[in-house]
A and B are shown apart, each in its own frame.
Chain A
Amino acid sequence: MATEQDILLKVMGLTKHFPVHEGSFIRRQTGVVHAVDGVSFNVRRGETLGLVGESGCGKSTTGRTILQLYKPTAGSVLFNGVDLVKLGEEELRQYRRKMQMIFQDPYASLNPRMTVGEIISDPLQVYKEVRTKKDIDDKVSELLELVKLDPSHINRYPHEFSGGQRQRIGVARSLALRPDMIVCDEPISALDVSIQAQVVNLLVELQRKFNLTYLFIAHDLSMVRHICDRVAVMYLGVIVELAERNEFYHNPLHPYTKALLSAVSIPDPRVEERRKRTILKGEIPSPIDPPSGCRFHTRCPIAKPECAQSQPELRELAPGHFAACHLI
Chain B
Amino acid sequence: MPNSLLEVTGLETQFITPYGPVYAVNGVTFSLNAGETIGLVGESGSGKSVTMMSMLRLIPSPPARISGGTAMFHGQDLLKMKNDEIRKIRGSQISMIFQDPMTSFNSLLTIGRQIAEPLELHKGMSRAGAYARAAELLDLVGIPKAKERLNDYPHQFSGGMRQRAMIAMALTCKPQILIADEPTTALDVTIQAQIVDLVKQLRDEMGMAVVWITHDLGIIAGLAQRVIVMYGGCFIEHAQVKDLYESPLHPYTRGLLGSLPRLDQDERQELATIEGLPPVLRKKPDACPFAPRCTYKIEHCLHENPALREVAPGHQVACWVDLETGKER
Contacts and interface: CB of A to CB of B under 8 A. Distances in A.
B271 A267 contact: no
A160 interface: no
Contacts of A211: none
B263 A275 contact: no
Interface in A150-165: 162, 164
Interface stretch (A9-17, A21-29, A189-197): A189-197
A266 interface: yes
A204 B273 CA distance: 14
B107 interface: no
**Majority secondary structure of chain A interface residues (helix, strand, loop or mixed):** helix
Interface in A12-62: 54-55
A163 to B, nearest CB: 9
Nearest to A264: B263
Interface stretch (B60-68, B112-120, B187-195): B187-195
A222 B260 contact: yes
Interface stretch (B22-30, B218-226, B311-319): B218-226
B277 interface: yes
A309 interface: no
Given A225-B265, A263-B193, A164 B277 contact: yes
Interface in A213-256: 219, 221-223, 225-226, 246, 249
A54 B194 CA distance: 14
Contacts of A193: 43, 215-217, 256, 259-260
B274 A194 contact: yes
B263 A283 contact: no
B161 interface: yes
Interface in A275-291: 275, 277, 279-280, 283-284
B263 A194 contact: no
B193 A270 contact: no
B221 A265 contact: yes
Contacts of B190: 54, 259-260, 263, 279-280
Contacts of B272: 197
B44 interface: yes
A262 B196 CA distance: 13
B106 to A, nearest CB: 23
How big is the A interface, by class? 35 or more
Nearest to A263: B193
B275 interface: yes
Contacts of A262: 193
A7 interface: no
How big is the B interface, by class? 35 or more
A225 B262 CA distance: 8
Contacts of A89: none
A200 interface: yes
A192 B263 contact: no
A268 B260 CA distance: 11
Given A194-B256, A272-B222, A226 B268 contact: yes
B215 A266 contact: no
Contacts, number: 122
Nearest to B46: A192
A192 B279 CA distance: 13
A225 B189 CA distance: 16
A264 B261 contact: no
A315 B44 CA distance: 44
Contacts of B255: 194
Nearest to B45: A192
A221 B189 contact: yes
A310 interface: no
Contact of A265 (B43, B158, B219, B274): B219
Contacts of B220: 267
A267 B274 contact: no
A263 B215 CA distance: 17
B266 A283 contact: no
Interface of A: 54-55, 162, 164, 192-198, 200-201, 204, 219, 221-223, 225-226, 246, 249, 259-273, 275, 277, 279-280, 283-284
Interface of B: 43-44, 158, 160-161, 188-194, 196-197, 215-222, 241-242, 245-246, 255-257, 259-266, 268, 270-275, 277-278
17 contacts: A193-B259, A201-B270, A204-B270, A221-B189, A259-B190, A261-B263, A263-B193, A267-B257, A267-B260, A267-B262, A268-B262, A269-B241, A269-B242, A270-B245, A271-B221, A272-B221, A275-B222
Q: 8 shortest A-B CB distances, which residue pairs?
A: A272-B222, A265-B218, A226-B261, A197-B259, A263-B193, A197-B271, A54-B188, A194-B274
Given A54-B188, A193-B260, A264-B263, 17 more contacts: A192-B44, A193-B43, A194-B278, A197-B271, A197-B272, A198-B275, A222-B260, A222-B261, A249-B266, A262-B193, A263-B193, A266-B262, A267-B220, A267-B221, A279-B190, A283-B160, A283-B161
